[in-house]
């Protein structure tokens, strides 16, 4: 297995987990401006990672785990996006209720779990050819270099749309 692919994978997911956890702590403690800054960092990190997974990794996994299971992974992404958008909407308001904060925090906790579970996809990497792994590294590097954040990706590039309620 390509160590660069694995190390980047773990590092990328850990960044998202850490940022989301810190956002939750800041919201709970009323540090909304700090949470807002971390939301921007989360968007910058999550955009390339989710795009990499959907555009590069999932097509490689489809022959291994099947289309139905790839669709479940896409549904997980939908939930991550829904949570991000819900947090974004709540934090963007001048006033928000305690209930709105609690709902957003519960969604964030669920998203923490989904991100952690996606890290387990690394177990499939050794089933991919060396050339596929090299291609994935090149594509990941390109997507991170492009620097398209999560908000821009879901608004302008991602074809799969998510209903935010």
Domain map of the chain by residue range? 3-157
pLDDT of residue 100: 81
* CA-only gyration radius of the chain, Å: 16
Q: Is 92 exposed, middle or buried (0-12, 13-18, 19+ CB in 10 A)?
A: exposed
CA distance 135 to 142: 11
pLDDT of residue 1: 57
Q: Is 79 exposed, middle or buried (0-12, 13-18, 19+ CB in 10 A)?
A: middle
Full-model pTM: 0.91
Point out the residues of the chain with pLDDT beneath 70. Answer: 1, 165
Reported as a single tens digit per residue, the pLDDT across 113-148 is 889 888 888 889 989 999 999 999 999 999 999 999
Q: How far is CA 91 from CA 4, 29, 137, in A?
A: 36, 13, 35
CA distance 119 to 116: 5
pLDDT of residue 17: 94
Question: What is the CA 43 to chain-centroid distance, rounded?
Answer: 8
pLDDT of residue 37: 93
């Amino acid at each position: 297995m390509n160590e660069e692919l694995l190390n980047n994978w773990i590092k990328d997911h850990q960044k998202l987990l850490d940022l989301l956890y810190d956002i939750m702590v800041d919201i709970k403690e009323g540090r909304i401006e700090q949470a807002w800054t971390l939301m921007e960092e989360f968007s910058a990190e999550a955009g390339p990672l989710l795009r990499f997974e959907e555009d590069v990794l999932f097509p490689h996994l489809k022959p291994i785990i099947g289309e139905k299971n790839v669709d479940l992974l896409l549904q997980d992404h939908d939930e991550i996006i829904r949570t991000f958008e819900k947090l974004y909407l709540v934090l963007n308001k001048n006033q928000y209720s305690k209930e709105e904060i609690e709902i957003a925090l519960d969604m964030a906790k669920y998203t923490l779990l989904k991100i952690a579970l996606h890290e387990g996809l690394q177990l499939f990497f050794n089933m991919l050819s060396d050339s596929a792994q090299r291609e994935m590294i090149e594509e990941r590097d390109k997507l991170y270099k492009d620097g398209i954040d999560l908000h821009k990706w879901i608004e302008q590039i991602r074809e799969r749309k998510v209903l935010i309620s």
